[in-house]
Structures are given as C-alpha cells and as structure tokens.
Structure 1
Amino acid sequence: MIQERPWFKSYPQGVPREIDLEEYRSVVSVLESAISLYRDRVAFSNFGKSLTYGDVDTLSQQFASYLLNELKLKKGDRVAIMMPNCLQYPIAIFGVLRAGLTVVNVNPLYTPRELKHQLQDSGASVLLVVDNFGKTVQEAISGGSTLKQVVTTALGDLIGFPKGAIVNFVLKYVKKMVPEYDIPGAVRFKDTLTLGRRQALPEVDIAPDDIAFLQYTGGTTGVSKGAMLTHRNMVANMQQASVWIGRDVKPEGELIVTALPLYHIFALTANCLVFMKFGASNHLITNPRDMANFVKEIRDVKFTAITGVNTLFNGLLNTPGFENVDFSRLHLTLGGGMAVQRAVAERWKKVTGVTLVEAYGLTETAPAACINPMDLKDYNGAIGLPIPSTDACLKDDDGNPVALGEVGELCIKGPQVMKGYWQRPEETAKVIDSDGWLHTGDMAKMDENGFFYIVDRKKDMILVSGFNVYPNEVEDVIAGLEGVLEVAAIGVPDERSGEAVKVFVVKKDPSLTEERIKAFCRDNLTGYKQPRYIEFRSELPKTNVGKILRKELREPPRPANVR
C-alpha cells in the first residue's frame, strides 16, 4: 500500500497522468523520427560549426557501420566514450545505439585508476577518447584490458578547415592541453567514418529491454557501479519529460544551451534526447568552467532554454557580462543534480526574468523522477511533483508508509527505473525492493498538494556540484597512502559546490602532511572527489564493532568539559 497521489491535483493543465510507452520502441526510433521530421534543422553546434539532423543521420550510420562491419562487434557489446561536449559526442552515441550496442559513458577527467576500473567492470570492447585524455588511457590500459580498439580524436576534428586546425593547434601547442601519448593500434575517428562509409549498415533489431547505456555511479561499497538503463528506461523518461515541458516548447524552434557534460545523465537525457523530440538545437559548451568564455559564447546566441546545476547558475551570475546576455527568447531554465539554493534562484529570476525550475532525479531513474510545474512563478523550495507514470512514496526504516507531512525515505517506481546494476545483483537488491520500489536514500516529506521536499540524506553519499561522491572510495584511496593509519570522509556544506569532501586522518607517520595527501588524491581521484578539507585526529569515533561513526564526525566537537 502507498499513500494517495495528491500530486495529480497540482499537475499543470494538459499534462497526462500516464505516458504512451509504446510510441517508440527504442532511443533509435526517437532519433529516426526526429531525422525524418527535422532533417535540415540544426541539431548540434560547437565552436561555430553546426550539424543538422541529416548530418547526424549520415555520420552516426557511418560510425555504426564501422563498429559492426570493420570491428565485427556483436549486439550488446559495450563501447566506452570519453570526451567532453563536442560534435563527435552525439555522432558516437547514436552510432553505438544504432549498431545495437551499449554506450558506456566515461568522465574524461577520470584518473587512470578510475578509468581502469570502469573499463574492466564494463568489459568495454572499444574506447573513443579525445586526444587531451589519451595519456590517461595509455596508463590505464598499460597492464592489459578488454579493449579491442581505441579510437582517438582531436576536439577540432569535425569543425572544418581552417578553424578546426587552429583549435587543435592552440590546444596542443599554445595551451599545452594535449599531453603526448602512445596507444599502439589506435585509429582516428575521422578514419572510422571513412571506413564505415564503404559498407551498408546491417539491419539491427533493437528491443525495448536491450541496454542502451551503462551509466556509472558510486555505491555504498565505494565501488563505481554501472546502472543498466534500457531503451525502455530512456524512452520512458524522454516521454515523461516531453509531456511535462511540451506546452512550453516554442514551435519556431528551441535552442538549448548544453553546458553540463553529456556523459552526465542529466544533460544526456534532458538536453540531448528530450529536445531531440522537438527538433531543437543543442549549443554545446566544451569547457563551462571557463566562465568568461562561456558568457562570451552565449552572449548573442538568443537561446530559449538552459539546464544546469546550482553551481553553474551561481557561477554565471557572478561572471562579469552575464547581465548583458540576450535573454529575450529564454523561457525555460531547469536546475537539477543538486539542491538549488533560494538565493541563486531568486537572483536568476531577477537577472534573466525566468524562473529557475528545480527537478529531482537519479542516475538510476534515467534521471527524472520529480519536476516542478514549468509555469512556476517563483522558486518554491520543492523538488516538484512525481512526473507521469511515476509513483513516489515515503517509507520509514521498517518499510512502512509515513503519515502526511512526516519525513521518510523517498522511494520511486516507474518505467524509468533502471534494470539494475551491471553484474551486481546483490547491490541491485539493496536499492530495489521486492515490490519494485527504488530506495533513493534521500529523506523527504510531502505536502498536501503532492509537492516533495528533500530534507536530508539517509546514505553517506556526498553531492559535489551534482556529482555523487561516495566516502568509501575516497577513504580507500587515501588509506593506500603510506603514512595513513585511518581515514574517514564526510560531506560538509559548501557555498560554491553545495557540499565538499572533508577527510579526517589518523597518522601512522608523524611527518605526513596535508599537501602529501592532497597530491596523492590529485593522482588518484577526479577533481570533484578530492578532499577540500583535511583534519588530523589522534583517533576516529567508532562503534563497539569498530565501524567508523561518520555521523559523529559531522557533528561539531563538544567542549572538553562537557560530558
């Protein structure tokens, strides 16, 4: 039994309670529908170069043909993609999907250790990587790997001459952003397209339950796990989000700024896939951390929509010149990935004239589970309403529903919930119960109108700028540093990133320094996982069986004279 569904009475006019799951058989079906409807419209733009839906059709077919005809990959094989936002990205993911294969999205900022784990765990046959990160790949596969082929590309390769050549030259020789690397047998992405052009793409039957994406996310064990997102999961979430925003989509054509990386589930679904249904154009930002150039790039674009995390919006608002950007066509701003702060949302509305609408989701829900109404007048502090075909409930520690207004663990059920974790049935069973409810680990409450509010997290996960950081992984890495006796990691509030990683270390070697720990973490952990704060202690609080009490570490230390 679950609570009643009061959220339906708060649904925006015209939004159905259920979606049509049978309209599209796969993500490829949605792509092919968009190609037939919008062939000559711009689909993606980057560095001043645009690809139409027709271009994406042609090039993705060529890449799919290369994978099947040249590499002889079989249905269900995994292809890893390791790159920031660039024109190669959509061609690659749609090529992989059209070949009946599975996309393994890889964060290009991974260290060799992190990359090695993901490649081994997924059993990827092919890796496509941008030259900037070729050195990482070289180190990750030096001891052997499952890879049959590494495909390399430079960021400017699809931009055209002479601009592409200039971009590549500047990145490599002026900005020194492309370290030398050596990967024997690697082929260039442009060459794969040439090879793929020689043979027709075989027909591939793609079933709704086939895995479209292995989307890696942290776990309570500290091991990164691949959430199996099927074509049905992805299509369902595309349909759910589409009907939610559909009334607000402009018929003359949408242009959405895509600054969050497409390897992140939020941008992948919300920007790349959902807006594809409407024949929209994705304006890809390759390096959103360079805020000055980001603002310069969108100043005169006349974009209609933008998605982001709180830190991105806050960064834009604090970048000189942002107030002079042309917001005349902007009508949709969606925030997710981490909590949107009231101060940021109110300032966004003041500067742009558009409400920053908060949404909530997880990698495991492909990702959207709750979204606020798009016609929201002002920030309301809620994560929104469960979207069509989605059930939500709040449960106590015994699995019983809590009363209205009380706090419980938010649980989600719907067609967007993942198939499970790749080759980890025990981990899957920990989060999806026997009734099919996904336990999010987030503690929430619901009001009488069906709006949900996150109040805390049950699990130890740390959320840094929308990215999951699990304490066990950070602890496992630091524990491997000579001189460390014990270590514990927690999340602490941070104005810039929502939360930051703080570690408590007990020294084995008295000469161990904070800088040595930070340097070790830089070599072994992606930037957002690295501890911002390090505190040395003589001992860590533990249970009687020796488990470290992170809860006590989160509490401020009591005065010495207080018992």
Structure 2
Amino acid sequence: TVNCFGMLKIGAKSVLITDPRKMDDFIKVLKSHPFSVITGVNTLFNGLVQRPEFQNVNFEHLKVAVAGGMALQKAVADKWKYLTGNDIVEGYGLSETSPLLTCNPIDGTEKLGTIGLPVPSTEIKIVSDEGATQGVGEFGEIWARGPQVMMGYWQNPKETDIVMEGDWFKTGDIGFFDSEGFIKIVDRKKEMINVSGMKVFPNEVEDVIAQLEGVLEVGVIGVAHKNSGEVVKAFIVKKDKNLTEEVIMKHCRDHLVAYKMPKFIEFREELPKSTVGKILRKELRKEEIANAL
C-alpha cells in the first residue's frame, strides 16, 4: 500500500523486487535504476550493506530510505549511513491500519531510533495494563484511532472485540512517547520475555548482539526454564565463521544487565523469515516447543 499509492502520489516509477532474498540480483536492479526512494525491513537493509558489491551502487539520486515491519537495528542504520550518505527513517503501521500510523519526517527533523510522529488525522495513546493513559517516558501498549483504522475483522466479532476498544485499536506493541512527541517502540507485547518477573524485550538484546561485526543476523526469544520461568535464547547467523559463543557472551556482559543476558546461544545457517524478509520469532518459538516435547 505504501509503495503503490505513495509512489503514485508523488509521480514516481515503482520497481517491484519479486524476491528480495536474492541479494545479488537485487543489487543488479539497483544499479540499473537511479533510485531516489527505497523501502524495506531491517533484514533487507542489513542484507544489502553486507554485500561488497553494494558499495558500487550509485546513491547520487537517493533522497530517502524508509524502514518498517520490524525494529531497525542501530548497527544496520549506521552502516547504511556510512555507505550511502543517507539516513534510514522509520515508519510504523499494521495491516489493520491500512497500513500507516506514524512516520518520521523527511525534512531533516527525523529522530533516529523512533517510529516518528502520528500521521495526519491519527491519534496515538500509550495505555498501561490497567487501562490508564501513560505519560511521557512511560511504557504501555500503543493504541491508535483514525480514518485508516479498520472497523473490525471480517466476520470475526470475537477477535474484533479483543483488539478494539470503541474506535481505538490495540496494536499489541509496547512503546512510549518521548519529550518531543516522538514514539519509540520497545517490542511486541506477546514477545516480551519474563525472567523471574523482570521484563526483557527481544529487540534490545538483538540490537546489542547485532553490533558485533561477526554477526549477520540474530533472533531472540524466551524459552521455558525451571528456575526463572523463562530465559533468553539467541539464534545467530554468523558473518564471521570464527565467531564464538564466548565472544558473544562477553559482548553481552558489557552491554546488558545480568537478567537480559542470553542463557542459550544457537548458531544457524539461516533464520525463518516472511516473504518480505522479516525474521519470524514465532517460528523459532514453535521449533523450541516442538523440541521440548
């Protein structure tokens, strides 16, 4: 929706990449089109900047890169900026919101690490588990209402009642407002890890691990543990084959408090992804549950 209607609105030519997982072919397309706008998920941008040939793409016409669908990792944003000279700005939305709710401005006032400001005619509030509207800097679930928010799920009133409170849509994402009104997403509510009653958000752990040069991709989930209820497990695809668990654990100790540390690390050749390249934590959780049976 963003690409088809957004690019149509500004009179841009759209080039559809049918399989962005074929990075070498993708880069050939980028070389043949002097592109000015590119949209994608963190995994896509990460895959591009890891390819040496990407440095030979002409970025002269590039005006804006927009990330959505999953958290943009700082290591990826920094490398993209270094190679292209441009920032990646984040936006946010869901299928239920047609799909955009917020986006960073692209006039130089963007705030990296946030999903930006509500788009026109859209209201956002942060709500606690008890139903109270949260203040600046206070965590809670992101609720939204506006003309783009769905009326409900088709012929499914039960599920509709779960996510709708009047005309407010409960996104299932945890976030907060900063002092300037920009919104920061912490993680999915359902994917929060409970370690002995302490909240651990996978995005934070993934962002720390992704800063290691030898890491290509990382996915973090919570797994059951007899002593603490849940513990953190990290699935890692190596960029450097010599990367060891000891190096990762030392790096985590330097940047994370003890209860957020991975208890388990598993190296993989690849991680499960959606058709647009988003890492699917739910598939990793399914595998863990199946292996535990």
Give the shorter-chain TM-score range: 0.5 to 0.7
Structure 2 residue ranges without an equivalent (≥5): 194-200, 211-215, 225-273
2:265 pairs with 1:534:
no
What SS does the corresponding residue of 2:173 show, helix, strand or coil? Answer: strand
The equivalent residue for 2:159 is: 427
* Aligned partner (choices 490, 493, 499) of residue 219 of structure 2: 499
Within-5 A mapping of 1:334-413: 334-376=66-108, 380-413=112-145
Give me the whole-angstrom Cα distance separating, in 2, the residues matched to 1:324 and 1:361: 33
Change (3 A) 1:379 1:390: closer
One-letter amino acid matched to 1:430: I
* Aligned partner (choices 153, 169, 176) of residue 438 of structure 1: 169
Higher strand share: 2
- Displacement of 1:405 after TM fit? 1.8
One-letter amino acid matched to 2:284: P
Give me the whole-angstrom Cα distance separating, in 1, the residues matched to 2:24 and 2:292: 41
- Displacement of 1:419 after TM fit? 2.1
Higher relative contact order (CA 8 A, sep 6+): 1
What SS does the corresponding residue of 2:165 show, helix, strand or coil? Answer: coil
Give me the whole-angstrom Cα distance separating, in 1, the residues matched to 2:151 and 2:27: 39
- Displacement of 1:368 after TM fit? 1.0
- Displacement of 1:279 after TM fit? 2.4
TM (normalized to structure 1)? Answer: 0.37
User: What is the aligned residue count?
Assistant: 223
- Mapped contact 1:355–1:378 kept (Cα < 8 A): no
- Mapped contact 1:431–1:439 kept (Cα < 8 A): yes
One-letter amino acid matched to 1:384: G
- Mapped contact 2:111–2:182 kept (Cα < 8 A): no
The equivalent residue for 2:239 is: none
Give me the whole-angstrom Cα distance separating, in 2, the residues matched to 1:307 and 1:367: 14
- Rg bigger for which structure? 1
What SS does the corresponding residue of 1:345 show, helix, strand or coil? Answer: helix
Give me the whole-angstrom Cα distance separating, in 2, the residues matched to 1:391 and 1:497: 34
Give me the whole-angstrom Cα distance separating, in 1, the residues matched to 2:80 and 2:55: 10
The equivalent residue for 1:293 is: 25
Structure 1 residue ranges without an equivalent (≥5): 1-268, 463-489, 505-524, 539-563
2:77 pairs with 1:324:
no
% identical equivalent positions: 45
- Mapped contact 1:307–1:333 kept (Cα < 8 A): yes
Within-5 A mapping of 1:455-466: 455-460=186-191
The equivalent residue for 2:252 is: none
Change (3 A) 1:497 1:410: farther
Change (3 A) 1:530 1:448: closer
Give me the whole-angstrom Cα distance separating, in 1, the residues matched to 2:179 and 2:222: 37
Change (3 A) 1:461 1:420: farther
Within-5 A mapping of 1:152-551: 269-376=1-108, 380-434=112-166, 436-460=167-191, 495=210, 499=219, 528=280, 530-531=283-284, 534=288, 536-537=291-292
- Displacement of 1:313 after TM fit? 0.2
- Mapped contact 2:191–2:221 kept (Cα < 8 A): no
One-letter amino acid matched to 1:499: G
Give me the whole-angstrom Cα distance separating, in 1, the residues matched to 2:139 and 2:221: 26
TM (normalized to structure 2)? Answer: 0.68
Give me the whole-angstrom Cα distance separating, in 2, the residues matched to 1:279 and 1:421: 33
- Displacement of 1:530 after TM fit? 3.8
Change (3 A) 1:498 1:438: farther
Give me the whole-angstrom Cα distance separating, in 1, the residues matched to 2:77 and 2:9: 28
One-letter amino acid matched to 2:288: I
Give me the whole-angstrom Cα distance separating, in 2, the residues matched to 1:461 and 1:364: 22
Post-superposition CA distance 1:271-315 (Å, at most 9, x none): 111111222211111221111111122113111110000000000
